[in-house]
Amino acid sequence: MDVQKIREDFPILSRTVYGKPLVYLDNAATTQKPRLVIDSLVDEYYSVNANVHRGVHYLSQQATELHESSRETVRQFINAHSTNEVIFTRGTTESINLLVSSFGDEFMQEGDEVILSVMEHHSNIVPWQLLAARKGIAIKVIPMNDKGELLLDEYEKLFSERTKIVSVMQVSNVLGTVNPVKEMIKIAHEHGVPFLVDAAQSIPHMKVDVQELDADFLVFSGHKIYGPTGVGVLYGKEEWLDRLPPYQGGGEMIQHVSFEKTTFNELPFKFEAGTPDYIGTTGLAKALDYVNGIGIEQIAAHEHELTTYALKRLKEIPDMRIFGEAADRGAVISFLVGDIHHFDLGTLLDRLGIAVRTGHHCAQPLMQRFGIEGTVRASFALYNTKNEIDVLVAGIDRVRRMF
Ligand code: PMP
């Protein structure tokens, strides 16, 4: 993998901030976009734009073809059985809200239970809490050890007669932990319970195959895998999606409407009310093609090398505390240095041109588990280099000496 050549595909990486070369290490929040993704958005607005699905005219048909071929690209990327199983949404958060709302309405009653993990992102906690407030369901939480690994024995003990669904992230956006979701799904299925995988942080970094995992539902955002913002995916097994009620009402999700009775469209359109972001879905497909062109295994190997190197270098810094030391970990490192506030460290690194994230990373229960308010987080993507890690380490050292 020629990283220097890859970097040329991402125009933003050659810019400077405060007169310093940009070192972009906030990829878990969002990734930068290759030129071909940006161009695809502009090109479609320039030469194809028309609303999809409802038009007899040429442009509408061309836009529809692009949109539906993007669905096929996503299907192949996650190895779904059918495009009926690929629902376009605005992103991970909307996908989870959709699922919680539809699944909760149809399959959960007061006293029923959902199992989450202690390291979940707020997007996989708050929708369940809203459901709990509406319907009186209960939330059970899988604990973890100090390294940031979920305790599978405790997980098994959480199942009861009332467990209706499990919803867990594949990779932690804070600790980098890669959770053994395949094994966890198997355990859930032994209890007759479906499983939702939050793949927001796994899909850009590893092969995600919904059939191999046997996931019932899986969600991700396009913007974290080099695609545009505002588009994401809910994958669901067809037999589940068929049984779920629609989420929002409006255009495209109907078959026939009268004031007496409305019938709903087939999958996947039943869950896609209103004009979809058909320009965004084209951009997402281009991003997935781009990843395929490089190869997800090559990307994973490069990021693994970077992460191993970064962990080694960061540990050379005195008073360094790293949160998350799971045996199986991804390209995210959260840390604190001495008693320097994470916000101060992040702000001073920014002045050196280094973009990292600070704060609770939308995982406040996880912060409570560690008894901290927040961390600094560096997260890597396919275009990052060892040199950038050296710049980060030198920057942290400089800030540390200032304090
Ligand atoms: N889940 C995880 C694990 C995430 O890292 C994120 C984004 N930080 C989300 C959900 C929410 O994604 P989005 O904001 O794109 O909906």
State the average pLDDT over residues 59-80: 97
Q: How far is the CA of 402 from the centre of ligand 1 (A)?
A: 34
Catalytic site residue from 362, 370, 372, 390: 362
pLDDT tens figures, 195-214:
999 999 999 999 999 999 99
Ligand 1: residues whose CB is within 6 Å? 91-93, 121, 123-124, 169, 173, 198, 200-201, 221, 362
Give the domain ranges of the chain. Answer: 3-30+296-402, 38-292
Q: Is 362 a catalytic residue?
A: yes
pLDDT tens figures, 25-51:
999 999 999 999 999 999 999 999 999
CATH of domain 3-30+296-402: 3.90.1150.10
Categorize the per-residue pLDDT at 289 as very low, low, confident or very high, splitting at 50, 70 and 90.
Answer: very high
Q: How far is the CA of 245 from the centre of ligand 1 (A)?
A: 24
CA-closest residue to ligand 1 atom 7: 29
Categorize the per-residue pLDDT at 160 as very low, low, confident or very high, splitting at 50, 70 and 90.
Answer: very high
Give the other-Cβ count within 10 Å of 348's Cβ.
Answer: 18
pLDDT tens figures, 321-359:
999 999 999 999 999 999 999 999 999 999 999 999 999
pLDDT tens figures, 209-237:
999 999 999 999 999 999 999 999 999 99
Atom of ligand 1 nearest to the CA of 229: 15
Residue 251's pLDDT is 84
Fold of 38-292: Aspartate Aminotransferase; domain 2 (3.40.640)
Average pLDDT of the chain, as a whole number: 97
Cα–Cα dist 28/202, whole Å: 10
3-state SS, one letter per residue, for the chain: CCHHHHHHCCHHHHCEECCEECEECECCCCCCCCHHHHHHHHHHHHHCCCCCCCCCCHHHHHHHHHHHHHHHHHHHHHCCCCHHHEEEECCHHHHHHHHHHHHHHHHCCCCCEEEEECCCCHHHCHHHHHHHHHHCCEEEEECECCCCCECHHHHHHCCCCCEEEEEEECECCCCCEECCHHHHHHHHHHCCCCEEEECCCCCCCCCCCHHHHCCCEEEEEHHHHCCCCCCEEEEECHHHHHHCCCCCCCCCCEEEECCCCEEECCCCHHHCCCCCCHHHHHHHHHHHHHHHHHCHHHHHHHHHHHHHHHHHHHHCCCCEEEECCCCCECCEEEEEECCCCHHHHHHHHHHCCEECEEECCCCHHHHHHHCCCCEEEEECCCCCCHHHHHHHHHHHHHHHHHC
